[in-house]
Structure 1
Amino acid sequence: MIIERVTGHTYGAEIRERIIEPLHLRETYVPRGTAVPGPHPRGYAQPGEGAPLVDVTRVSPSVGGAAGSMISSGTDVNRFLAALLRGELLRPAQLREMMTVRPTGNADGRAYGLGLESRPLPGGGVYWGHTGDFLGYETMAGATVDGRQATVMVNLGPGSSDAQSDDLGAALRTALSSRGPWGREIRR
């Protein structure tokens, strides 16, 4: 892995030193073993249409290496995204590069950069974030440059319908919109 070759330290050690500790992320872990530490929601998969749900909670995301080996709470994900967009983690030129996006071709207006997506918000503006899924879980997180953050998660995957992902996206857009779910402007 590039991080380990450049720094001489493990991926987990670098994440802890550069992100987890400086941002005081108290519910974020890079697992050192195969067990998921601490209290957490159970994850389920549905191996086929109409099949019973299978509890896959014991499968550790560490099997995904750096692509999935972090565990975090919604609060910590929000804190991370806010710090990233405020420029607390990267130099300005690096953050600009991350936020230089190209359209993905999806009808929803999504654009993708270097590990960061932008998506339009109802009523104007965009939010920045990322989605992720692992056996038993699906997560969407986003933040706006003016300081709003939200993270939504479900504990079923695979086996969920496209409607589940659509509903997650709708919940996130509503939470980040400058207008509440009833169309009234939210003053912060």
Structure 2
Amino acid sequence: MTKRNTNYLLAGLIIEKVTGHTYAQEIRKRIIEPLHLRKTYVPRASAIPGPHPRGYAQPGEDAPLLDITEVDPSVGGAAGGMISSGTDLNRFLGALLRGDLLHPAELREMMRTRDTGNEDGRAYGLGLESRPLPGGGHYWGHAGDFLGFETMAGATVDGRRATVMVNLGPGGSDAQSDDIEAAVRTALSAGRLSARG
């Protein structure tokens, strides 16, 4: 288990210790219900509700794809124990950056970043990454992956939002991750150009 996954599992335990409620109960009460996220779940079973894409893994370079859609995401605890749609992720990020979910001081702390050492200008805060946009400015977001899926969501403080998902992981190339990021960056940049006329 990686240090990052251990931290997420500990976060779920801390939430339970501090609030007296499960991670799932707190997510529903504080995020899903207030934001009216209709396609976001903290699942109790492995089945993804409603129509959804299939998730695939490719265990080796020439290996056939394996359908792993039914893997239970709750094994990831707070690291991956949720299912959502692109629309709901966009709604969540917009609400977060508008200050609808946290007090101003908490949001400022979340957005106080540290350089990640990457040449691409990324900086990491508390659960949010800042990434540069072409032509200036930046967006906030986070990438994520779980067996069968990889996502990236981003938003700007002026309200532009974009989410991209692919249904292959592990087994996708580095180019796949780069392409996901490029799609989010392009969508957010296009929104900026449209707003300017």
With structure 1 as the length reference, what TM-score do the two structures score? 0.95
Shift of 1:179: 6.3
How many Å separate the matches in 2 of 1:179 and 1:21?
28
Give the counterpart letter for 1:120 in structure 2: P
CA offsets 1:61-111 (integer angstroms, 9 cap, x no match): 111111100100000000000000000000000000000001101111110
Distance 1:102 1:126 in 2: 15
Matched with 1:171 is 183
1:34 to 46, 58, 69: 46
Letter paired with 1:186? S
Q: Per-residue deviation at 1:33? A: 2.0
Match of 1:69 in 2: 81
Alignment of 1:1-188 (within 5 A): 1-178=13-190, 185-187=193-195
Contact 2:56 2:168 in 1 (8 A): yes
Task: Name the SS of the counterpart of 1:177 in structure 2.
Answer: helix
| Alpha-carbon offset, residue 178 of structure 1 | 4.6
**Residue 3 of structure 2 corresponds to which residue in structure 1?**
none
List runs of 5+ in structure 1 lacking aligned partners. none
**8 Å Cα contact 2:40/2:85 also seen in 1:** yes
SS of residue matched to 2:153:
strand
Return structure 1 stretches of 4+ with deviation > 4 angstroms: none
Which whole-Å deviations, capped at 9, do the CAs of 1:9-29 have from their partners, x for residues lacking one?
A: 111111001000000000000
Letter in 1 for 2:125: G
Alpha-carbon distance in structure 2 between the residues aligned to 1:129 and 1:51: 32
Structure 2 CA distance for aligned equivalents of residues 36 and 178 of structure 1: 32
Structure 1 letter corresponding to 2:146: F
**Paired residue type of 1:49:** E
Measure the CA separation in 2 of the matches of 1:18 and 1:87. 13
* 1:34 Cα deviation after fit: 2.6
Shift of 1:186: 1.2
TM-score (norm 2): 0.91
Q: How far apart are residue 37 of structure 1 and its match? A: 2.0
Kindly indicate which of the two structures has a greater share of residues assigned to helix: 2
Q: Percent identity?
A: 79
1:113-152 CA-to-partner distances (Å, cap 9, x unmatched) read: 1000000001110000000000110000000000000000
Q: Number of aligned pairs?
A: 184
